[in-house]
Structure 1
Amino acid sequence: MSSKINVSSHPCVRAKLSQLRSSSISPRETRALVHEIATFLAAEALANNLTVVEAGQSTTALGADYTVETVSEKVVLVPILRSGLGMIEAFNSILPTPAAVHHLGLFREKVSLSPVEYYNNLPASGTSAHPADIAIICDPVIATGGTAVAAIQTLRDWGVKKIILCSILGAKGGVEHAANEWPEGVEVYMGAVDPGTNEKGMIVPGLGDIGDRLFLTIGK
């Protein structure tokens, strides 16, 4: 796969993902595992893409002077509705300051499996001279890659300098499709990659419909 695709080798990620695959775990456990795996992925993605800069001087509780450090990049989080919401807190808990969250609503049309946008709350073009240095797309599953590609296109048009696509699990072809949409501007961080999808575009063995599992809408 592309060098832009980073698949976690962390033993805890592998073990937790194995737990998440199981149909026997509760919705509460599902939410917790998605958050925990996303935290590992966030730590790796942010470590590789943020730059520390000095931001002045301050004083410790003992009266000693020290140099304040922060990150220089402006980061925004872009969850793909619905399931991407389950990953947001992991990133915001690691970032030194909370990031703006801009939601994208995309679903796959059932026959063609093509992405359809139904919601977009990115600020209108021209309302900000500096949209973001890094936009982090949070989507737990990349199956065909169509939804991820549509989100990348939208954010690129908005004017972000770099995109990090973060997913718990992806199908090999879909992940490569997303990574190749903007090779110089996209990095992908995955918990694991499965071989492919079935005729309905679902990853096999996969996680099932993670949105339904997170939000208790199975059988809707």
Structure 2
Amino acid sequence: MAALPANVHISTHPCLLAKLSQVRSASTTPKETKQLIHEISLLLAADALARVLTAVPAGTTDVTPLGASFDVQTCAPASVTLVPVLRSGLGMLEAFETLLPFPVPVHHLGLFREKTTLQPVEYYNNLPTRVAAADGDGARPCDIAIILDPVIATGGTAEAAIQTLREWGVKRILVVSVLGSVEGVTRAATEGGGDDVQVVVGAVDSELGGKNGGMIVPGIGDIGDRLFLTIGK
């Protein structure tokens, strides 16, 4: 396998790799697929969030059931936004909301690949308009935006999502995926220089194939169709 950029982090967790093998199987039912993607996303969330968040004192104290006082800790930065890519990114969303110790905004991006060119087309974007600052520049919408998309195949969708978030004003972007191709992960990690981007992925397959060469091989199929029972649409 070709060397990947330094800002790409591949999981080595044995439970994740075992669950990924289960997702790969054509015999895995839709219900099982949905649960496995959630469980894999929990493992990815633990890894990914540890890379961008830091435990800090909350400045308050509380009392344990034994009556002992303790200093409360929280995470910084607190300004985090989750950005699931429709449709399949929704399958990862609950895991990240579960792991984060505080509620965060969720903004959806709708992107699909045009069948012939495989280029991404944006059909939905609910990122709010930024509030103008006193100096005329737009206020930063958040400290960290986390893109959730289970598969990075050609990398075009991830690249488009990164570009959209940069235009929105985000300074740090974390892309989290269950599975990527070498080509797609490299494209996402190096988009526009990549200094503001980190990619966390469960595993990387070396080939792209299938119709028009846009599917990861061996891959996990069209995970959006598998999650939402739209196979053969």
SS in 2 for 1:154: helix
- 1:124 and 2:129 aligned: yes
Distance 2:131 2:185 in 1: 31
CA distance in 2, matches of 1:95, 1:130: 21
Q: Deviations over 1:125-181 (max 9, x none)?
A: 336734111111000000000000000000011111211100000110111000001
Query: What are the superposed Cα offsets for residues 101-123 of structure 1, whole Å, 9 maximum, x if unpaired?
Result: 10000000011100000000001
Alignment partner for residue 195 of structure 2, among 184, 193, 202? 184
Secondary structure in 2 matching 1:56 = strand
Larger deviation: 110-119 or 193-202? 193-202
- Any residues of structure 2 matched to 1:86-125 within 5 Å, and which? 86-125=91-130
Residue-pair matches, total: 220
What are the Cα deviations for residues 167-201 of structure 1, in whole angstroms up to 9, with x where unaligned?
A: 00011011100000141100001111011211340
Extract structure 1 runs of 4+ deviating beyond 3 A.
none
3-state SS of paired residue (1:219): coil
Q: Which amino acid aligns with 2:180?
A: G
- 1:201 counterpart = 2:214: yes
RMSD, aligned CA: 1.2
Alignment partners' CA distance in 1, 2:203 and 2:62: 43
Q: CA deviation at 1:16?
A: 0.5
Alignment check: 8 A CA contact 1:57 1:65 kept: no
State the partner residue of 2:70.
Answer: 66
SS at match of 1:197: strand
Q: Percent identity?
A: 61
Where structure 1 has 5 or more consecutive residues not aligned to the other structure, the ranges are none
Q: Is the 8 A contact 2:130 2:140 kept in 1?
A: no
CA distance in 2, matches of 1:186, 1:121: 21
The residue correspondences of 1:16-165 to structure 2 (distance < 5 A) are 16-60=19-63, 61-73=65-77, 74-126=79-131, 129-165=139-175
Aligned to 2:9: 6
> Deviation per CA, 1:47-102, whole angstroms, max 9, x where unpaired?
12101221222221333322111112111100000000000011110000121110
Matched with 2:178 is 168
- Which residue does 1:216 correspond to in 2? 229
**Residue aligned with 1:100, SS:** coil
Q: Which residue of 1 aligns with 2:135?
A: none
**Could you state the TM-score of these two structures normalised by the residue count of structure 1?**
0.96
Q: For residues 59 and 69 of structure 1, what CA distance do their matches in structure 2 show?
A: 10
Displacement of 1:11: 0.7
TM-score if structure 2 supplies the norm length?
A: 0.91
Matching residue's letter, 2:115? K
On the 8 A contact 2:62/2:72 being kept in 1, the answer is no
